[in-house]
């Protein structure tokens, strides 16, 4: 017998045990209410009860016990957990007693056993009240034993973690009930914040609603709050940001419920409340895509992801694998990264995914060409690139070899193999670049647009987005590590800003772009307002329960080589066209001389191999908008 079957048997035995105890209690209550009914009818005097009525009670009660237990079982009243009995349970009991009462009267008439009318009324009405009362009394007793039976938060145990709930709606109610009943946590809800003024001064399951968002800081101090849980899953991103920006100033731990979809599925509980992350403070709703359209596009297709072991590449692989591709090919030069995503997908999909993992470099013409020709992918997502700005400033030739020539070689190989769609992962640093990494990515975009014009059978597009939160080499992991080490947290400039998005958002954009692709487009995400890096650093410190410049020092180190104060999404001449997804836009292709561009690419290739110190001048000749800080 398997462990699952053993566990199932244990659960069945436990249910039988509990249900039997409840059934015996119900039988006892049927006998008791009948006896009480007779006592009430005859003024609590046993000697006054006529023998025929007492005999009738003795004959009818066993039958009524059977009727009660059968109806309760049909109504699933033996499947409930008494610890969580609620109004729904009471309504079920009342509904069951409509049937029970009818059966009791009918059975009495059939057996020709006539009892006083008041007897029937007390047995039916009193029986319902008694069954409901016993069930609720168990819940009340359990709460009193656990020390949470008081109706006011002030008498709660001082040893618990005191919790403020933001949101007096459905999610907040679910959380409060869960906290009050759970034996797995010592968290105690002490107050609720809700901007609906009609709720102020009232209570939610005994927890007072004490004010709106402007009262968060005051009430957190007054109620000695340790943790604040944000419980408004349906609110837009800007509202969430507004609440959390106030809450983080309290110094309390911040947590949040899952999103609206999980609430609809009934998944909101204290067990899946998570810590507030920096993404919750961005003030922008998550990017959504037409999953069905993307699903239909990728289903049954052979898909190749270059750089498939990286932050973006690996998430691409995860989401593509969900869409039932015919085959997924991961191509990466770093075997450790490739191995990790390979093992993750094998564990999740087993034999349901045709997965091929190949090691190689996009700089190797023969390798990338042979991979394309051997596997004939339908769609290629090109995520392989050097992306670290300061490192590429000191090794510009490697940026040329990998980013520019690697993209050119991969694109040509894709065209030779008859690939249907080729999607380049680009960056907002390609717009008016001041660093070599951004300039190389701009050249990559130019390659894509040139290939689109010269290769009619393959659609070439690029996707441009900002910094990706949590990706390898991004600023957030660095800040978190510096905070863990006690600081200082290093920010290059107090006024520096960046556009930010999450890894899943970035990949959603890429997948959506591949669906929209008609050829030659540069897709751009509306990432909301740019975020100050200094604010992000301070928010991360506060989310960790520390105080900026007090517990953790912030140091300003100055802009690094090639770094801009702010990024742009589009060059002026590109314009902007909307798509069906209002958060995704298209920059139109820029006219250029393709043949002249090819000549310059060949020269750039030769120069990069020689480690020419003038490499930046050659890049400037190809990308007129490139203005390196050193010039």
Instruction: State the catalytic residues.
Output: 429
Give the integer Cα–Cα distance in Å for 423 and 480.
32
d(CA 124, CA 119): 9
Which whole-number Å values give the CA distances from 219 to 157, 208, 225, 352, in the listed order?
19, 11, 8, 53
- Give the C-alpha separation, 520 to 448, whole Å: 7
Apex CA 225: angle with CA 220 and CA 231, to 5°? 80
Evaluated on CA atoms 575, 581, 582, 584, the torsion sign reads negative
Around Cβ 352, how many Cβ atoms within 10 Å?
A: 9
Pairing, β 489-491 against β 421-427 = unpaired
d(CA 458, CA 530): 35
Residue 59: half-sphere exposure toward Cβ, Cα within 13 Å: 15
Cα angle at 170 between 168 and 171, to 5 degrees?
A: 85
Strands in 466-596 per DSSP E: 467-469, 489-491, 497-498, 500-502, 522-525, 531-532, 554-556, 577-578, 584-587
Main-chain dihedrals φ then ψ at residue 461, nearest 5 degrees: -140, 165
3-state secondary structure of 101: helix
CA separation for the pair 506, 496 (Å, rounded): 22
**DSSP assignment letter at 548:** B
Would you call 390 helix, strand, or coil by DSSP?
helix
For 420, phi then psi, to 5°, come to: -75, -45
- How many Cβ atoms sit within 10 Å of the Cβ of residue 109? 10
What is the phi-psi region of residue 545: left when phi exceeds 0, alpha when psi lies from -120 to 50, beta otherwise? left
**Measured distance CA(354)–CA(347) in Å, rounded:** 13
Contact 187, 269 (CB under 8 A): no
Q: Find out whether 522 and 577 touch, Cβ atoms under 8 Å.
A: no
Cross-strand partners of 422: 380, 460
Reported as type and span, the H/E element at residue 123 is none
Per residue, the 3-state secondary structure of 401-451, as one string, reads HHHHHHHHHHHHHHHHCCCCEEEEEEEHHHCCCCCHHHHHHHHHHHHHHHH
Rounded to an integer, what is the distance from CA 320 to the centroid of its chain? 18
The C-alpha torsion from 531 through 537 and 543 to 545, rounded to 10°, is -160
String of DSSP letters for 129-141: HHHHHHHHHHHHH
């Amino acid at each position: 017998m398997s462990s699952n079957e053993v566990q199932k048997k244990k659960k069945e035995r436990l249910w039988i045990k509990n249900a039997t105890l409840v059934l015996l209690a119900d039988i006892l209550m049927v006998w008791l209410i009948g006896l009480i009914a007779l006592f009430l009818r005859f003024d609590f005097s046993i000697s006054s009860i006529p023998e025929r009525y007492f005999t009738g009670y003795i004959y009818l009660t066993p039958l009524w016990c059977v009727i009660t237990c059968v109806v309760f079982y049909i109504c699933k009243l033996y499947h409930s957990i008494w610890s969580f009995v609620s109004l729904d349970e009471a309504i079920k009991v009342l509904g069951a007693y409509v049937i029970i009462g009818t059966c009791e009267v009918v059975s009495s008439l059939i057996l020709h056993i006539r009892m006083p009318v008041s007897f029937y009324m007390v047995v039916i009405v009193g029986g319902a009240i008694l069954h409901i009362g016993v069930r609720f009394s168990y819940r009340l007793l359990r709460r009193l034993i656990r020390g949470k039976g008081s109706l006011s938060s002030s008498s709660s145990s001082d040893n618990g973690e005191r919790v403020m709930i933001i949101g007096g709606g459905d999610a907040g109610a679910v959380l409060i009930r869960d906290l009050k009943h759970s034996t797995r946590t010592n968290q105690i809800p002490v107050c609720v914040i809700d901007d609906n003024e009609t709720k102020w001064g009232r209570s939610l399951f005994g927890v007072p609603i004490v004010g709106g968002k402007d009262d968060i800081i005051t009430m957190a101090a007054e109620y000695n709050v340790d943790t604040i849980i944000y419980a408004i899953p349906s609110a837009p991103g800007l509202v969430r940001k507004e609440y959390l920006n106030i809450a983080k100033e309290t110094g309390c731990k911040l947590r949040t419920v899952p999103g609206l979809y999980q609430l609809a599925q009934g998944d909101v509980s204290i067990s899946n409340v998570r810590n507030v992350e920096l993404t919750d403070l961005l003030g922008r709703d998550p990017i959504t895509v037409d999953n069905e359209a993307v699903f239909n596009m990728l289903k049954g297709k052979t898909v190749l992801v270059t750089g498939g072991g990286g932050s973006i590449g690996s998430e691409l692989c995860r989401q593509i694998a969900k869409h039932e591709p015919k085959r997924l090919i991961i191509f990466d030069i770093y075997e450790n990264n490739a191995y990790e995503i390979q093992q993750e997908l094998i564990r999740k999909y087993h034999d349901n995914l045709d997965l091929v993992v190949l090691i190689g470099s996009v700089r190797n013409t023969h390798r990338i060409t042979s991979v394309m020709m051997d596997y004939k992918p339908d769609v290629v997502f090109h995520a392989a690139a050097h992306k670290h700005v300061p490192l590429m400033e000191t090794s510009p030739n490697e940026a040329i070899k990998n980013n520019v020539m690697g993209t050119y070689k991969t694109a040509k190989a894709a065209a030779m193999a008859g690939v249907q769609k080729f999607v380049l992962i680009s960056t907002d640093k390609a717009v008016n670049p001041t660093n070599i990494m951004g300039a190389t990515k701009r050249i990559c975009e130019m390659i894509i647009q040139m290939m689109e014009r010269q290769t009619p059978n393959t659609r070439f597009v690029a996707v441009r987005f900002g910094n990706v939160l949590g990706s390898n080499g991004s600023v957030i992991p660095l800040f978190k590590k510096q905070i863990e080490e006690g600081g200082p947290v290093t920010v290059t400039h107090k006024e520096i800003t960046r556009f930010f998005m999450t890894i899943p958002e970035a990949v959603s954009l890429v997948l959506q772009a591949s669906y929209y692709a008609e050829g030659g487009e540069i897709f751009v995400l509306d990432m909301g307002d740019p975020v100050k890096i200094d604010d992000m650093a301070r928010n991360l410190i506060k989310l960790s329960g520390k105080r900026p410049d007090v517990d953790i020092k912030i140091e300003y180190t100055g802009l690094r080589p090639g770094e801009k104060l702010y990024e742009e999404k589009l060059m002026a001449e590109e314009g902007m066209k909307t798509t069906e997804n209002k958060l995704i836009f298209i920059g139109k292709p820029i006219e250029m001389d393709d043949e002249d561009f090819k000549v310059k690419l060949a020269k750039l290739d030769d120069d990069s191999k020689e480690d020419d110190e003038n490499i930046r001048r050659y890049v400037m000749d190809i990308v007129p908008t490139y203005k390196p800080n050193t010039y």
